[in-house]
Structure 1
Amino acid sequence: MHKYLQLQNELETLIESLSYQDGDRLPSIRELATRYQCSKSTVIRTLDELEKRHLIYSVDRSGYYVVKKQRKIQPADTSIIDFATSAPDPDLFPYVDFQHCINKAIETYKNDLFIYGTTQGLPSLISVVAKLLGNHQVFTDPGNIFITSGVQQALTLLCSLPFPNGKKTILIEQPSYHLFIESLQVRKHPVLGIKRTAQGIDLEELESIFRTGEIKFFYTMPRYHSPLGTSYSRKDKQRIVELAQQYDVYLVEDDYMADLEHDSKADPLFAYDRFSRTIYVKSYSKIIFPGLRLGVAVIPDALKDSFNQYKRLMDIDSSMLSQAALEIYLKSGMFERHKQKIRSSYHRRSNLLMASLNQFAVNEEHLFTFQPLAYPGIHTHIMLNDSIPVSAVISQLKKRSILVDATDKNYLLGFPQENMLKLNVSYAKETVIEQGIDVLMDVLRRMHR
């Protein structure tokens, strides 16, 4: 990330914290350059950006001052520790930045935003997205990119439209994304499940299902699986792609957490696919804010026309105003700056969770088992002793103001479920994570007696 973007993050964090009061003068340009070991031009560029975003204002021959805050910063509410919610932390939403982008989008595109757009999406946004996807080793022609109203819309369309392989059954990992499972069952699509654990999936079982199950596509989350939190190895990814080609199966890769990746060597399934069998989908909801409702789908040539037709009949186009604002947000560098900020925050939280669980894992193995993660995302899970019912743990923790969630919604009806407790850190404040795990361990001990 560019130095001036890092400096923006540093100064914005200070401004939003209690370090500066309304109207306080910032250090001089010379002082900031020395403190952050950067050039004066970098400081000036950073201060100009912060002024454009109305976080500071300048006074000739005097310096830069903090703009009066619209709301007072309140201490984090630590009365409830939330390990259940998987949505982004509202404290990290880029309110000011995105407001600026919406205003700029209306100014730039004017009437174009208030008429029907194209089914594929705003062409200028698609061009920007194509370049960013390359950073994730997803190299594709812009003509194969569709902007959708979230990943959920893309999945609904893919379930509905016919595939070139003529097959109808959808294969999904168990456990998996709960809303997609609910959608499959409500719409009565033919569906099979395959068990996934912290170690991955049984590739021999996968081959058997591909060979005999008439599988239309296999829906998978190779990276930062929800709710397990685990990722496939490179070897497993390569083998899944090979099996898909061998048995005429398509892959739908949900890479919703791609922007949180810390391992530079971790590539998506799409990067290993030489046969155009992988449909790559990702969302900006988890990294920006859920209300944006914009996702990206990379559709192979064999499915482009059908996908375009089905999408046009579903909603004509996705919100043009949101697309235009997102384009400006991505191009301006604001997204890169925000991504670094949210990655750092979630990484700290995840490491605190991993460390807390590791602390108990050795001596409390009679209570639970846990798979440490080298590169944790926002999700993880623990396997409880069979004598400790998940529902009772959830109930006892709630009485002590700690929210956790079971995984029953993450399974197809009738599929064997594990005695598993999932833990999310996107909503849990750093200051209370260790406390929450201490209480969890106390509850498990009491229930095991």
Structure 2
Amino acid sequence: MKKYLDILSDIDRKINEGQFVSGQKLPSVRDAAKLYDCSVSTITRAYAELEKRHAIYSIAQSGYYVVEKQGNRSNLTESKTIDFASSSPDPSVFPYLDFQHCLNKALDTYKFDLFTCGDSKGMETLRHTLVSHLAGDQVFAKAERIIVTAGANQALEILAKMPFPNGNSVILVEQPSYDIYMRFLEAEGIPVCGIARSTTGIDLRELEEKFRHGGIKFFYTMSRYHSPLGTSYSADERKTIARLASKYDIYVVEDDYMADLGEEAGIDPIYSYNGTSHVVYLKSFSKIIFPGLRLGAVVLPEKLMESFCEYKRYADTSQLSQAALEVYMKNGMYERHKRKISSQYASRIHVLNEAVRRHNDAGLLKVSDVRSGVYVQFKLPQTVNLERLIERLAAKNIIVVSGKRFYLSEYREREKFLRISISRVQPEQIEEGVRSIVEEVRQEVKFPS
């Protein structure tokens, strides 16, 4: 099964990245079987699936050919803008046809049930499906502990406002961290403090000190594929955080929104190491399917269930979207699309790393060691004028994001960096983009203001 999915993902990726262009004939079934070292029936199955998804078509006694691309993909590749800023998924890989099928199937299956108010915890059938889905990430939870939310942000906002059993009020956040959540905490006047996190990790002694004396309600963290750094905690760091949470009765809110995009084996979440239920686990589906789907899930410790449900109160997530997601997962489409998009992003990260190796030979940029996910940190020399650098890059149609936005307003120990996202930049643009960034940084260092 895995071999078939790997072949399907690889061919799909080559089509989307232009290695197989519109109208090009694919290798024959026998040639492809030799190429992938598998049986003819495995290739036949992969080609049939691609044909079903309208990615290729067959001509009798001739072979298989790539379908001519229309619309978004051509517009994206023809664009002169090199977009290192956008964090949304690449529209060229949105699973439109598959999800349309799932919407239709959901309507046929659930009919009138989809147009009622529903359960505030989410569709029961979806929550049971999520049990096995989350288990794949080493998150083992019963359906009654899982709540479906309108994206991960809704869960984050509820957790910030609701009381916790430890009676504390301060939220501890990594610095840098998710900018939208920090702006929310500051706007709501919620007590918040920061702790430095870099590409090398976090000071666990400082973390323990804050847990011991900081009046911390919960620690908000992205343990895997952090935004904006792109890095993950080591296994030892994750185990230690889990242990400290239990020791000091501090909850950890683990935002694992990038879980499906990683390819490294053995990177389990903090949740998997915590045996005393001090970890809240958050999962978002917007990075895999569509940003506009607005579906997430939260796994809650038993002690937090009643309070969370009181704050959520009513069903506010589309029943149709939930039913379609359930169908999408049950029939294997989610797993297949996850493989496709994670493979595509890993390929782009590889291209980026190779471009950095070639053009950043003088070491002007300190680049985080990232092999998968979406984000990479380009740490800059302190003499660089960040605002002017971004303006000069924009004049070259290269869009990047300043690292300033990822810090609390009052936090002073900031690194100067660009957050680079590969989710929408096309592979053929990455080389030029990296070369231009290095050149502009070199000019800033040579002629500082």
RMSD: 2.7
Structure-2 separation of matches of 1:128 and 1:338: 17
Q: What is the aligned partner in structure 2 of residue 394 from structure 1? A: 390
Q: d(CA) in 2 for partners of 1:34 and 1:222? A: 40
Distance 2:25 2:392 in 1: 49
Q: Counterparts of 1:268 and 1:190 in 2: how far apart (Å)? A: 26
Q: Assess if the C-alpha contact under 8 Å between 1:165 and 1:249 holds in 2.
A: yes
- SS of the residue corresponding to residue 276 of structure 1 reads coil
Q: Pick the aligned partner of 2:379 from 360, 376, 383.
A: 383
What is the distance in 2 between the residues matched to 1:254 and 1:73? 31
Match of 2:303 in 1: 302
Aligned ranges for residues 272-421 of structure 1 at < 5 Å? 272-313=273-314, 316-364=315-363, 367-373=364-370, 375-416=371-412, 417-421=414-418
CA contact (8 A) 1:82 1:402 kept: yes
CA pair 20-347 structure 1, distance change in 2 beyond 3 A: closer
Match of 2:140 in 1: 139
Q: Quick one: which amino acid aligns to residue 320 of structure 1?
A: Q
State the distance in 2 between where 1:362 and 1:11 align: 33
Q: In structure 1, give the amino acid aligned to 2:280.
A: I
Question: Retained in 1: the 8 A contact 2:123–2:319?
Answer: yes
Q: How many residues align?
A: 443
* Shift of residue 360, structure 1, vs aligned partner: 4.5
SS at match of 1:224: coil
Query: Alignment partner of 2:117: what SS?
Result: coil
- 1:445 pairs with 2:446: no
Query: Please, which runs of 5 or more residues in structure 1 have no aligned partner?
Result: none
For the residues of structure 2 that align with 1:200 and 1:231, how far apart are their CA atoms?
8
- Give the aligned residue type for 1:414: E
Corresponding position of 1:423: 420
Q: 1:211 to 1:9 in 2, by over 3 A?
A: closer
Residue identity matched to 2:193: L
CA distance in 2 between counterparts of 1:136 and 1:276 reads: 17
The 8 Å contact of residues 120 and 317 in structure 1, kept in 2 or not, is answered as no
After superposition, the Cα gap between the structure-2 partners of 1:217 and 1:404, relative to the gap in structure 1 and judged at 3 Å, is: same
Distance (whole Å) between structure 1 residues aligned to residue 102 and residue 59 of structure 2: 26
Q: In structure 2, how many angstroms separate the alpha carbons of the residues matched to 1:184 and 1:203?
A: 24
Does structure 2 retain, via aligned residues, the 8 Å contact 1:358–1:372?
no
Task: For 1:33 and 1:236, locate their aligned partners in 2 and report how far apart those are by CA, in whole Å.
Answer: 43
Cα deviation for residue 154 of structure 1 reads 0.6
Relative distance call for 1:105 and 1:139 in structure 2 (3 A) is same
For the 8 Å contact 2:393–2:399, the answer to whether it is kept is: yes
1:350-402 CA-partner distances (Å, limit 9, x unpaired): 112222223344523xx3333433x3421111221111111111011001111
Does residue 432 (structure 1) correspond to residue 433 (structure 2)? The answer is no
SS in 2 for 1:217: strand
Matched-pair contact (CA < 8 Å) for 1:238–1:269: yes
Measured in 1, the distance between the counterparts of 2:252 and 2:193 equals 14
TM-aligned CA distance change 1:392 to 1:328, over 3 Å: same
Report sequence identity in percent. 45
| Contact 2:171-2:219 within 8 A present in 1 as well | yes
Identify the residue that residue 91 of structure 1 maps to in structure 2.
92
SS of residue matched to 1:397? helix
Question: Are the structure 2 counterparts of residues 344 and 250 from structure 1 closer, same or farther at C-alpha, using a change threshold of 3 Å?
Answer: same
Greater alpha carbon shift after TM alignment, 121-130 vs 276-285: 121-130
Report the Cα offset of residue 442 of structure 1: 1.1
1:190 is matched with 191
2:346, 2:373 within 8 Å by CA — same for their partners in 1?
A: yes
Q: Which amino acid aligns with 1:283?
A: S
Q: Shift of the alpha carbon at 1:178?
A: 0.8
Letter in 1 for 2:2: H
Displacement after TM superposition at 1:70 (Å): 6.4
Looking at structure 1, the residues matched to 48 and 191 of structure 2 have their Cα atoms a distance apart, in angstroms, of: 56
SS at match of 1:251: strand
1:124-178 deviation digits (Å, cap 9, x = unpaired):
2112211121111111112111111110001011112111111111110111001
1:18·1:73 contact (CA, 8 Å) conserved in 2? no
Q: 1:31 to 1:241 in 2, by over 3 A?
A: closer
Displacement, 1:29? 6.5
For 2:212, the equivalent position in structure 1 comes to 211
Query: Relative to structure 2, which stretch is displaced further, 294-303 or 33-42?
Result: 33-42
Paired with 1:442 and 1:228, the residues of 2 have a C-alpha distance of 22
1:37 is displaced (CA, Å) by: 5.0
Provide the rounded CA distance (Å) in 1 between the counterparts of 2:240 and 2:15.
49
Distance 2:115 2:58 in 1: 36
- 1:220-231 residue pairs with structure 2 within 5 A? 220-231=221-232
CA contact 1:397–1:403 (8 Å) conserved in 2 = yes
CA distance in 2, matches of 1:431, 1:64: 25
Contact 2:359 2:434 in 1 (8 A): no
Distance 2:106 2:382 in 1: 55
Corresponding residue number in structure 2 for 1:253: 254
Q: 1:13 to 1:247 in 2, by over 3 A?
A: closer
Instruction: Give the secondary structure class of the aligned counterpart of 2:313.
Output: helix
**3-state DSSP of counterpart to 1:74:** helix
Shift of 1:445: 1.4
Any conservation in 1 of the 2:284–2:295 contact (CA below 8 Å)? yes
Cα drift, residue 312 of structure 1: 2.1
State whether residues 167 and 214 of structure 1, in contact with CA within 8 Å, keep that contact through their aligned partners in structure 2.
yes
Report SS of the residue matched to 1:196. strand
- Is the Cα contact below 8 Å between 2:72 and 2:92 reproduced in 1? no
- Asked whether the 8 Å contact 2:404–2:416 carries over to 1, the reply is no
Larger mean CA deviation between 415-424 and 44-53 belongs to 44-53
Q: What's the CA shift for 1:78? A: 4.6
CA 1:30/1:119 → structure 2, altered by over 3 Å: closer, same or farther?
same
What amino acid is the match of 2:202?
I
